[in-house]
């Protein structure tokens, strides 16, 4: 098998044919891709496997260019599989170009209903049986949504795991989509308040941008529509370690003097497009609320829960209402990790999938993803990093779940934000590994 060599690592490609519906193994199949990574010089060593499950949903695994980030620490002890979850990366793609091959929106939605965490875990199991000698157990590292998948793994196939590590991704076992967003808006409000306290000049700067977008039609270089709401969705950045600073620099470079007066700078619009476009990760938007659907929690539809809760909370959080905020003199709040119906009008990559997303939003009776009884009897050594006041995953939900997973060791920290695994140079993973080993 051909190997790719990068600084300090050797990588090999693996592709498996997996059932679209694991309950119908003889039916339609799709490809799932995984990249094996091992430290250079240890290719022939008998190393235990660690499978990495990326955040998302709908995001491919990292593309390493050598020994970097958390991978450096992982490769000290493991042979790593970076799994491109179904529909992403080099796995069979699911996007505006390929989904019409399925038929209309209802057929596309029925297809994508097989792209949740339960199917991802079963894909991983096929890889384990294919890669691990004698089909033995391996370890799993789940970041964010990958942590949701990891808890699903502990629910479905704990016998397949020798250890489980979760970073910023313990889901609420019995939290509905509405529960998730009802808890999220106050956290996002706190991130906004912290941002504006750090950069008080951004209050006026953001109001100026949003006011302009309310009065003018502004197009992004790729054809997307930059509305006030679309601009404010850049608040997704506020949950990462450097996001507030990145957002500030973006806001401070918004304008250029043109023949008719100040106008949004091309460089600003190009940068905004880079943050807002879902061309590379359409499933992040299309499937986002489906990851919370469970029939035992709420047998009804997710139904654009983020938008519904925003309207319900409007009297208490007027700063999230563009027009109400502009009518006063206070800050206009950015939103966070929320998907709204209007995104399927403003983003060219999502526009063709608008009816498909609506069909998924209306879908009911989603299968359960977690087995509380099995988690209560868990015997897999496990550790989780819970980031204090994580903007993306509610700390309260995470800690309640931690209490329900037998033997799970939890590290609550405010040293890092949600991206701690990526930016800590291996410190977060190292801490979890030592926790599982009983060294700390």
pLDDT by residue (tens digit) across 231-268?
Answer: 999 999 999 999 999 999 999 999 999 998 999 999 99
Of the candidates 357, 221, 231, which has an alpha carbon nearest to the alpha carbon of residue 289?
Answer: 357
Q: What percent of the chain has pLDDT over 90?
A: 96
pLDDT tens per residue across span 62-77: 999 989 899 999 999 9
Paired strand residues for 382: 164, 408
Residue 1's pLDDT is what? Answer: 65
**Model confidence band, residue 2 (pLDDT cutoffs 50, 70, 90):** confident
Of the candidates 48, 102, 117, which has an alpha carbon nearest to the alpha carbon of residue 79?
Answer: 48
Q: What is the mean pLDDT of residues 160-185?
A: 97
Residue 352's pLDDT is what? Answer: 98
pLDDT tens per residue across span 389-405: 999 999 999 999 999 99
Residue 365: active-site member: yes
Average pLDDT, the chain: 97
Average the pLDDT over each of 1-5, 202-206, 381-385 and give the range with the smallest value.
1-5
Residue 316's pLDDT is what? Answer: 84
Residue 107's pLDDT is what? Answer: 98
Q: What is the mean pLDDT of residues 422-431?
A: 97
Distance CA 382, CA 162 (A): 9
pLDDT tens per residue across span 118-127: 999 999 999 9
Contact 9, 39 (CB under 8 A): yes
Catalytic member of 418, 419, 424, 430 = 418
Q: What percent of the chain has pLDDT over 70?
A: 100
Q: Which two tokens stand for residue 310?
A: 């925003």
Paired strand residues for 4: 11
pLDDT tens per residue across span 336-385: 999 999 999 999 999 999 999 999 999 998 999 999 999 999 999 999 99
Residue 144: active-site member: yes
Is residue 216 over pLDDT 80?
yes
**Model confidence band, residue 133 (pLDDT cutoffs 50, 70, 90):** confident
Q: What is the mean pLDDT of residues 17-39?
A: 97
Distance CA 147, CA 153 (A): 9
pLDDT tens per residue across span 282-332: 999 999 999 999 999 999 999 999 999 999 998 888 999 999 999 999 999
Q: What is the mean pLDDT of residues 50-59?
A: 97
Contact 389, 172 (CB under 8 A): no
Distance CA 370, CA 405 (A): 11
Catalytic member of 61, 91, 139, 144 = 144
Distance CA 167, CA 318 (A): 32
Distance CA 297, CA 382 (A): 25
What domains does the chain contain, in order, with CATH numbers? 4-173+370-436 (3.40.50.1820), 177-362 (no CATH)
SS (H, E, C) the chain: CCCEEECCEEEEEEEEEEECCCCCCCCCEEEEEEEEEEECCCCCCCCCEEEEECCCCCCCCCCCCCCCHHHHHHCCCCEEEEEECCECCCCCECCCCCHHHHCCHHHHHHHHCCCCHHHHHHHHHHHHHHHCHHHCCEEEEEECHHHHHHHHHHHHCHHHEEEEEEECCCCCCCCCHHHHHHHHHHHHHHHHHHHHHHCCHHHHHHHHHHHHHHHCCCECCCCCECCHHHHHHHHHHHHCCCHHHHHHHHHHCCEEEECCEEEECHHHHHHHHHHHCCCCCHHHHHCHHHHHCCCCCCCCCCCCHHHHHHHHHCCCCHHHCHHHHHHCCCCCCCCCCCCCCCHHHHCCCCHHHHHHHHHHHHCCCCCCCCCHHHHHCCCCCEEEEEECCCCCCCHHHHHHHHHCCCCEEEEEECCCCCCHHHHCCCHHHHHHHHHHCCCC
Q: Which two tokens stand for residue 300?
A: 């009804």
Is residue 431 over pLDDT 70?
yes
Contact 224, 277 (CB under 8 A): yes
Residue 195: active-site member: no
Of the candidates 440, 272, 261, which has an alpha carbon nearest to the alpha carbon of residue 347?
Answer: 272
Geometric angle at alpha carbon 10, from 8 and 11, rounded to 5°: 135
């Amino acid at each position: 098998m051909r190997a790719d060599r990068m600084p300090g690592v050797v990588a090999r490609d693996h592709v498996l044919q997996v059932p679209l519906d694991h309950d119908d193994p003889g039916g339609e199949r799709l490809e799932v891709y995984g990249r094996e990574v091992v430290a250079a010089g240890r290719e022939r060593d008998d190393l235990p496997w660690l499978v990495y499950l990326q955040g998302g949903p709908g995001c491919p695994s990292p593309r390493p260019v050598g020994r970097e980030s958390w991978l450096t620490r992982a490769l000290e002890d493991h042979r790593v599989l970076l799994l491109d979850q179904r529909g992403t990366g080099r796995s069979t793609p699911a996007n505006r170009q390929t989904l019409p091959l399925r038929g209309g929106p209802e057929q596309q939605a029925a297809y994508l209903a097989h792209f949740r965490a339960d199917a991802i875990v079963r894909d991983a199991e096929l890889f384990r049986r294919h890669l691990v000698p004698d089909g033995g157990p391996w370890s799993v590292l789940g970041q964010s949504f990958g942590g949701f998948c990891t808890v699903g793994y502990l629910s479905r196939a704990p016998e397949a795991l020798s250890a489980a590590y979760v970073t910023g991704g313990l889901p609420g076992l019995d939290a509905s989509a509405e529960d998730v967003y009802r808890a999220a808006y106050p956290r996002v409000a706190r991130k906004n308040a912290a941002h504006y306290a750090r950069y008080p000049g951004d209050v006026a700067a953001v109001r100026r941008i949003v006011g302009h977008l309310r009065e003018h039609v502004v197009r992004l270089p790729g054809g997307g529509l930059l509305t006030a709401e679309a601009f404010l969705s850049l608040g997704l950045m506020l949950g990462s370690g450097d996001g507030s600073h990145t957002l500030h620099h973006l806001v401070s470079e918004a304008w250029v003097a043109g023949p008719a007066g100040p106008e949004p700078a091309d460089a600003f619009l190009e940068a905004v497009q880079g943050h807002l476009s879902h061309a590379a990760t359409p499933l992040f938007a299309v499937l986002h609320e489906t990851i919370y659907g469970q029939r035992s929690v709420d047998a009804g539809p997710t139904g654009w829960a983020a938008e519904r809760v925003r309207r319900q909370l409007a009297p208490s959080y007027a700063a999230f209402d563009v027009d109400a905020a502009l009518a006063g003199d206070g800050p206009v709040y950015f939103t966070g990790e929320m998907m709204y119906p209007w995104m399927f009008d403003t983003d060219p990559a999502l526009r063709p999938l608008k009816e498909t997303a609506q069909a998924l939003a209306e879908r009911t009776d989603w299968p359960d993803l977690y087995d509380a009884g099995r988690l209560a009897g868990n015997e897999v050594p496990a550790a989780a990093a819970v980031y204090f006041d994580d903007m993306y995953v509610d700390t309260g939900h995470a800690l309640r779940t931690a209490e329900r997973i037998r033997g799970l060791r939890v590290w609550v920290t405010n040293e890092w934000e949600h991206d701690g695994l990526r930016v800590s140079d291996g410190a977060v993973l190292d801490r979890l590994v030592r926790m599982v080993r009983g060294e700390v």
